Structure 1
Amino acid sequence: MEDVFTNLISQFGYVGVWFLIFFENVFPPIPSELILPLSGFFTTTTDLVLPGVIAAATVGSVTGAYILYGVGRLLSRERLMTFFGTRPMRLLGFKPGDVASAVDWFDRKGQVTVLICRCIPIVRSLISIPAGTAKMNPVRFTLYTLVGSVVWNSILCSLGAAAGSAWATVTAQAEWVSDIVKYVIIAIVVVAVGFWVVKRILPALREQRGGGDGGADA
């Protein structure tokens, strides 16, 4: 993968940086922790300059974010409420009102998470989907995505440029931080799933069983 990134940047310069970060935003498993320090390193061996690399990466971040924002717009509140109102979803403890509550919360208090999450591995791209579902104002979405992306891109590109030929050390440290974030997210998900099973799924199954028994008795 590193060879592919190296060839793209060496052949296409800023366009290569833009494309890689755009692609990374649409497909989050691709590591910006590798692309950005490598891009910064290229400013020490080619005609690329650090401000230009940061700008290209930021344009890639914003344009890529709009792809997932568009996906979120397609997953509208109404469509999600209909989906979570189906019987399988009800058996899993979901209710259509959960969607409305989540979207309303995002409208009131959650929009700033678009800015914050742009500097957090893993969720930095995915946050664009709930922003689209909540129909966040496009201008505000662009501004928050732009500011957060500039911070993230500037740090990693600058560290890569400062490290020079040792840019891979920056990548290793960034991936170490990313791994910690992944473990924290997994732990949170496990706890949330356990809570959901106890508070939602088990009561829903008992209610369904009780309704079935009542029908049999009738």
Structure 2
Amino acid sequence: MHRFLAAASSSADPQALSGIAGWAVDIMNDLGGLGAASLIALENLFPPLPSEVILPLAGFTAGTGSANFTLLGAILWCTAGSVVGAWALYGVGALLGRERTRKLMGKLPLVKTSDIEKTEAFFDRRGTWTVFFGRMIPIFRSLISIPAGVTRMGFWKFTALTTAGSAVWNTILIWAGHALGSNWTKVEGYVGILTKVTIVVCLLGGALWVALRIRSNRRKREAVPAEN
């Protein structure tokens, strides 16, 4: 899907790109670093705008000299954009708060209040590493900001962890796009594999959790007549 959205040409000329890639290049050419930062901020809020396209493309564009930013500038601007986007989602989580989140999640089938409390407790204990490494995992990169807001992780702590994690992820993808030049689309392929692995792991984990919860509920129902 991302390859279709990118619609990228193998030409070294940024103007030869079309689709999302061409649109992104136009923004970066017109607004420079601010344009790159805006795209990444939007990527946090609008997942169909994939970072595996925007970040390598920023590196590629910086290498062509067609935009008003260097490789380092691309990294700094994109990291700033990541933080701004994360702040927005952190704010969503903070507005929801623990009680409202518990009520919403508690209405879901098979979800118990104790499950939510355990998740919150885990985030309270391990939130530091969860936010940092979460910024380097596809799908979770954006979503991790919401529980941070729900649990009211210290704002500046959250900002520092998000900045550090985003800087690592952004540097790798932007540098790869810069190094590969006109072959920057190869980065998307590798990140796409990581994304698919993440999805499969999540689906398997979710299926296992549902199966265990159904079995637990069934055993409880069977135990009631026996007690009577």
TM range (shorter): 0.7 to 0.9
Name the amino acid aligned to 2:165: G
Name the amino acid aligned to 2:184: V
Offset at residue 3 of structure 1 (A): 1.4
Kindly indicate whether the alpha-carbon contact (under 8 Å) linking 2:101 and 2:150 is maintained by their aligned counterparts in 1. no
Shift in CA distance, 171/130, structure 1 to aligned 2, threshold 3 Å? farther
Question: RMSD in angstroms over aligned alpha carbons?
Answer: 2.3
Q: Please, which runs of 5 or more residues in structure 2 have no aligned partner?
A: 1-19
Name the amino acid aligned to 1:153: N
Q: How does 1:43-192 map to 2 (within 5 A)?
A: 43=62, 44-46=64-66, 47-86=68-107, 89=108, 92-164=109-181, 166=182, 169-172=183-186, 174-192=187-205
1:38 aligned residue: 57
How many pairs are equivalent? 204
1:216 aligned residue: none
Q: Secondary structure at the match of 2:184?
A: helix
Is residue 23 of structure 1 aligned with residue 42 of structure 2? yes
Deviations, residues 52-108 of structure 1 (Å, cap 9, x unaligned): 22111111000001111111112322112223444xx3xx22111211111111111
Residues in 1 aligned to 2:53 and 2:45: alpha-carbon distance in whole angstroms? 16
TM-score of the pair, normalised by structure 2: 0.79
Kindly indicate whether the alpha-carbon contact (under 8 Å) linking 2:59 and 2:178 is maintained by their aligned counterparts in 1. yes
TM-score of the pair, normalised by structure 1: 0.83
Shift in CA distance, 129/48, structure 1 to aligned 2, threshold 3 Å? same
Among the aligned pairs, what percent are the same residue? Answer: 41
Offset at residue 209 of structure 1 (A): 9.7
